[in-house]
Amino acid sequence: MRTTYVAVYETLADWEIGHLTVELRTGRFTEVPWQVVTVGETLEPVVTMGGMRVVPDVTVADVTPEVGDLLVLAGSGQWDMGGGEAFAKLAGQFLDAGVPVAAICGATAGLARAGLLDERKHTSAAKEYLQATGYQGSERYVEARAVVDRDLITAGPDSPVQFARAVMERLELADERKREAYEGVFHRADPAAYATLVG
């Protein structure tokens, strides 16, 4: 079974990665269930922005790209306060090893500060948001819901469904017809698309 590591920290933005983690874990539309492992800086519980208490399965020190297939980073208040260095460093290790990293909202700022967006196309909440980090990659910013560039998937806070779809595309989970139907059901509330998902 393939493994996705989901970074967890105080004020994690639950909703940004909910669609993705559900589809990976259950495999209900992709037919390929994944193991979801939560990663904290320590094993102490964290409380998400939505008030859920999460006890990490492992720590950052326990994780290497060789034993994972994806690293997922959600937004949180820590990124806007300049934190998250341990997770940005882990993301760099995954990208260097050719293992996908999926970052949404504030997590993109952490990757920007670490220089991980300088040479890759990417998106976020807004171009100005990332420019405030002082990064050197603004010429590669793309105005899109989600962007895939090699092993990096990025999205803004208003695009959790497109984020999930982009990750599934990069991981080659489900075909394009089913991914389009997935977005149709969960983003556009298109009832006709549901038949494609369950059919």
Check: CB of residue 84 under 8 Å from CB of residue 112.
no
- Is 142 among the residues known to form the active site? no
- Catalytic one among 24, 88, 95, 105? 105
Cα–Cα distance for residue pair 198/183, rounded to 1 Å? 14
Radius of gyration of the chain (CA): 16
177 and 196 Cβ atoms separated by less than 8 Å: yes
Break the chain down into helix, strand, coil percent, rounded to 5: 40, 20, 40
Residue 64, amino acid? T
CA 182 vs CA 153, 190, 191: distances in Å:
18, 9, 11
Type of residue found at 124: S
DSSP string, 92-157: HHHHHTT--EEEETHHHHHHHHTTTTTTS-B--S-HHHHHTTT-S-GGGB--SSEEEETTEEEE-T
- CA-based nearest residue to 110, from 77, 139, 148: 77
List the catalytic residues: 105
